Every structure is written in C-alpha cells, then in structure tokens.
Structure 1
C-alpha cells in the first residue's frame, strides 16, 4: 500500500470541474479526509525475525518519541527513507517502549535498517482472536 501523494494539476482541475460543462467529481482516495501526520520515525534494529512476530526493535529515532505512539495508529514500513514507497501497513498493538514497537501479529518481510513511520491514522483493523481461560 502506498502513501497518498499530493494531487497533480490535472487531478485538481477534475475536482474543481474545470473545463467541462458537466463536471465530474472524482478524486484520489482519502483526498478530503485529512493529512496523515507522521508522529514517529525510526529504523528497524533487528537482524532476524521469527516466522510470525508482533514486535520490532528500533533505533535511530528522527521524528517524535516513543511516547507519541498510541495503540491503533498506522505503521508504514519502507526500505527507503520515503513513506510514499512503503511496502507494508501495520497497526500499533500497544504502547511502545524506548526500544520496541508492538505491532499486530504478522509475517511480512521486514529487514534490518528498514524505515518505520507511525502515522496519526486510526483505521479499522482486524484483530486475531484470543482464547481466554
């Protein structure tokens, strides 16, 4: 999933209905909902992962603090320092610590030194059921 980018002049004209007697109001998804503010940015500091995991070690924090991360926020993982090239979208499962980000259980391929972007975006996410005793 890619991060929504700024609209081009052509897309803005379509939204405005410019150049057409019968305007069409189509737009890129999420254009009117609001900006996605990056509240935390860091790099993965974990050489290997199990087949399935629910936490990621991090370092090199360049935006925000782990205390800015809230359960339910959206996490984007990218191989490069560009959120628009994110290869995965995940969910923050619980409050982060100074070195660990807790995410939904997954088996996606995250590599050491990948970039982590936590965005103030609270989506509806599926959650794995847990059996209680």
Structure 2
C-alpha cells in the first residue's frame, strides 16, 4: 500500500539500516491540497465564529500551514479582510493548542510588504473572496 503512495508522489521512500522509511513528499501538490483540506476541517469552528462576528469577512490561511510545512509549534496565520477588528480567539488557541496570528486588512494592496501580500495571495481561502 505504501508503495502505491510512493508511485502517486505522496510519499518518499528511503532505506536506512535495513529498514524502509516512508515520509510525506511536501513538494507534492496533492499532499499540499490534502494538508489544506485537513486544516480547513480543523479550523471550521473558528471560521464559523469569525463569519458570525464579522460582516462578510474574507479569511485566508497562509504561512506554514497553507504550504504543508507545519511543525508542532507552528502558529496559525490568518489574514482577515473586514472593517471590524475585534475577536476573542483565546478559546480557539487553547482548543487547537496553537497561537493564532491575525493580520487585518481592508484589501490586499494594504499589506505592509510585497512579500506578505504574495504569501497571502498564495494562501488558502477559508471563507469569502480575497479583495485586492
């Protein structure tokens, strides 16, 4: 079964001390898509809370989680495009056991740097439409 996923490009395989080791191919587009779907599910309650408390927000997951490069201590980077800027997310941080960093914008053009704007534009839209 694991060799099937190697053929599909989801896993990589290497031999080490008479053992075969399998690990995620983090360059695989399919792996990145599966990781994004996983995080969409994990953040479903948080996304619903944000949608409930803000008027028509666009919510974009970006950074390591959207690139399938997350580690155990990676934070959750969210860009929120909305005029209101008040949320109480502490309970979600406790539940997810991760720090949540929220970056507020009225539009993508208002990002502090070109690099940040690019990271957000290449992120994963959890809700709404990304405004430029």
TM-based fold match above 0.5: no
Structure of higher RCO (CA pairs closer than 8 Å, 6+ residues apart): 1
Higher helix share: 2
TM-score scaled to structure 1, two decimals? 0.25
Higher strand share: 1
TM-score scaled to structure 2, two decimals? 0.26
